[in-house]
């Protein structure tokens, strides 16, 4: 035990010298290089915007007024009806912003954000209990009859599942064509506001993209790392496993898993994650096969460092380039996978997602362009953004490109 601790200490002393002269790590350098390409910047802007919309969705689109005064009593129905997911996202975002502003090491930051997410998520699941019954039309009726002194409404005053029952048979409406209301992107067949549904669906797309890719990366890095480090027999068995998973068309495996295991959001994240790992395993393996011959790895082995430390503290940071590239493309394909599943009618049942909205557009008897174009466009822009970032990262890690740059 003491041996291990002593080695751990020494391990820390070795780490800086192993990563050579530049103070920034390889990963930070690659990220900086990529961010200097305009395509990646545009993509990043779009994704940050989307993340902002996803976090502040209840403030942006909500049938519950943000603030209202009734007979002098000021109350906020919006706050009262926040769901645990809303609270978790909002609180974690604020704490995350704080953590980013305080100068800390990247790893400490990551751990801090993870811990906050977990604790806030757990606490809000227990303590935040919104009243289940929400009659959206009450607010509108009261507002019209003048029961409120003043009301502050969200900029899109409709919840995603507010079917506008109080407006009678409010069915399909083209954008900006409804009589007494403004729907910037029209309404769907049941009368719900399309823009509001789009805003809430962005949460599902971003969440699935990040979590599924995280899971796939986790499995892929561990398996690929072991395969590359040990090579030989472990490698052979591992590669057979990779081949098996790659020979089943991923979409088909996804279909089977989703159809047989039900349709919860979290399950879908896990399923998309566990079908996506072979690609990462392949790249990490190739990278580690190269690295294990190098002197700094041999030195780490000679020091008798534990396997975990050799693999993840010494080898992984030096082979992180291809993983970053793949993660970016992976997020894009995870978002597409969710959209495809929802489109085929195997997605989430009650919550709107972009793919499901596209499916809705197909199911209706006439073609309504706003029902197909907006969600489809959102999928396109998000996938394109991640692909642009991936492309920029690939250019950033490409040694040929760097060498050739002065020529062109």
Partner 1 sequence: MHTYILRRLVLMVPTLFGITLIVFAVMAAAPGGISAQSLIQGQNLEPGAKKAMEDYYNRLYGLDQPVPVQYLRWLNNISPAGFTFDANNEINGFSLSKGSDLGTSFYYNRPVLDLVAERLPITLLLNVLSLPIIYVIAITIGVRAATERGKRFDTTSGVVLLGFWSVPTMLTGVLMIAFLASDQYWRWFPTAGINERAALEMPFMPHWSATSDVLMLVSLSIAGAVLMVALSRKGGKAVRAVPFGALGAVLGVLMAGDVARAGVSLVHVLLGAGVGGLFVLIGRADYELPRTAAMGLVGFGVGVGLAAALARGAFVRGFLLDSLWHLVLPVICLSYTSFAFLSKLTRAAVLENLLADYARTARAKGVSESDVLWRHVFRNSLLPLITASATLLPGLLAGSVIVETIFSIEGMGQLAVEAVKLRDRELVLSVTLVSGLLTLIGYLIADLCYAMADPRVSYD
> Is the CB of 207 or the CB of 355 nearer to partner 1?
355
> Is the CB of 65 or the CB of 347 nearer to partner 1?
347
> Is the CB of 216 or the CB of 257 nearer to partner 1?
257
In angstroms, the CA 299 to CA 308 distance is 15
211 C-beta neighbours (distance < 10 Å), count: 19
Q: How far is the CB of 255 from partner 1 (least distance, A)?
A: 5
145 C-beta neighbours (distance < 10 Å), count: 8
8 Å CB contact between 184 and 174: no
Q: Backbone phi, then psi, for 75, in 5-degree steps?
A: -140, 165
Using DSSP's 3-state secondary structure scheme, residue 61 falls into: strand
166 C-beta neighbours (distance < 10 Å), count: 15
Q: How far is the CB of 363 from partner 1 (least distance, A)?
A: 11
Q: How far is the CB of 37 from partner 1 (least distance, A)?
A: 11
Q: 54: closest CA among 207, 214, 159, 157? A: 207
> Is the CB of 54 or the CB of 340 nearer to partner 1?
340
266 C-beta neighbours (distance < 10 Å), count: 10
Q: How far is the CB of 394 from partner 1 (least distance, A)?
A: 10
Cα distances from 93 to residues 41, 52, 86, 201, 204, in angstroms, run: 22, 9, 11, 18, 16
Q: How far is the CB of 153 from partner 1 (least distance, A)?
A: 32
| Structure tokens, 152 | 């502050």
> Is the CB of 49 or the CB of 104 nearer to partner 1?
49
Write out the residues near partner 1 by the rule CB under 8 A.
39, 240-241, 243-253, 255-262, 332, 336, 339-340, 343-346, 355, 358, 361-362, 366-367, 369, 372-373, 376-377, 379-380, 383-384, 387-388, 391, 408
Q: How far is the CB of 377 from partner 1 (least distance, A)?
A: 8
> Is the CB of 264 or the CB of 294 nearer to partner 1?
264
| DSSP secondary structure code for residue 152 in this structure | E
Q: How far is the CB of 297 from partner 1 (least distance, A)?
A: 29
| Structure tokens, 131 | 């009243």
Q: How far is the CB of 382 from partner 1 (least distance, A)?
A: 9
> Is the CB of 141 or the CB of 259 nearer to partner 1?
259
Q: How far is the CB of 400 from partner 1 (least distance, A)?
A: 9
Give the list of residues 6+ apart from residue 49 with CB closer than 8 angstroms, or none: none
In angstroms, the CA 182 to CA 162 distance is 14
8 Å CB contact between 49 and 381: no
In angstroms, the CA 171 to CA 4 distance is 68
Q: Where does residue 221 rank: exposed (0-12), middle (13-18), buried (19+ CB within 10 A)?
A: buried
> Is the CB of 112 or the CB of 265 nearer to partner 1?
265
Q: What residue ranges in 49-135 does DSSP mark as E strands?
A: 67-70, 73-75
> Is the CB of 6 or the CB of 237 nearer to partner 1?
237
């Amino acid at each position: 035990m003491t041996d291990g601790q002593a080695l751990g200490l020494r391990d820390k002393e070795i780490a800086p010298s192993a990563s050579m002269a530049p103070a920034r790590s390889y990963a930070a350098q690659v990220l900086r290089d990529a961010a200097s390409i305009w395509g990646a910047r545009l993509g990043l802007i779009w994704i940050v915007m989307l993340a902002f919309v996803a976090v502040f969705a209840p403030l942006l689109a909500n049938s519950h007024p943000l603030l209202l005064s009734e007979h002098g009593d000021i109350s906020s129905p919006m706050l009262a009806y926040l769901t645990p997911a809303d609270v978790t996202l909002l609180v974690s975002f604020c704490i995350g912003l704080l953590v980013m502003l305080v100068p800390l090491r990247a790893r400490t930051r990551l751990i801090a954000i993870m811990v906050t997410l977990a604790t806030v998520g757990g606490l809000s699941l227990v303590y935040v209990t919104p009243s289940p019954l929400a009659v959206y039309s009450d607010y509108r009726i009261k507002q019209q009859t003048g029961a409120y002194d003043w009301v502050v409404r969200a900029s899109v005053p409709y919840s995603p599942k507010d079917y506008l029952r109080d407006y009678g048979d409010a069915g399909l409406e083209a954008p900006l064509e409804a009589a007494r209301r403004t729907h910037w992107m029209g309404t769907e067949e049941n009368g719900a506001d399309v823009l509001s549904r789009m805003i809430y669906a962005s949460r599902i797309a971003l969440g699935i993209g990040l979590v599924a890719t995280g899971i796939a990366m986790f499995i892929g890095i561990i398996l690929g790392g072991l395969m590359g480090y040990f090579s030989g027999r472990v490698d052979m068995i591992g590669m057979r496993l990779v081949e098996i998973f790659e020979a089943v068309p991923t979409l088909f495996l996804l279909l089977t898993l989703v159809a047989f295991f039900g349709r919860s959001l979290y399950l879908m994240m896990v399923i998309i994650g566990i079908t996506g790992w072979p690609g990462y395993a392949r790249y990490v393996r190739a990278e580690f096969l190269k690295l294990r011959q190098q002197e700094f790895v041999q030195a780490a082995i000679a020091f008798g460092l534990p396997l975990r430390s050799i693999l993840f503290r010494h080898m992984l940071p030096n082979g992180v380039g291809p993983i970053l590239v793949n993660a970016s493309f992976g997020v894009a394909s995870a978002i597409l996978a969710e959209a495809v599943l929802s489109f085929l009618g195997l997605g989430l049942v009650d919550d709107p997602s972009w793919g499901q909205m596209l499916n809705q557009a197909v199911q209706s008897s006439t073609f309504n362009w706003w029902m197909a174009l907006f969600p489809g466009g959102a999928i396109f822009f998000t996938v394109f953004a991640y692909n642009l970032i991936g492309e920029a990262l690939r250019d950033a890690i490409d040694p040929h490109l760097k060498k050739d740059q002065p020529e062109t």
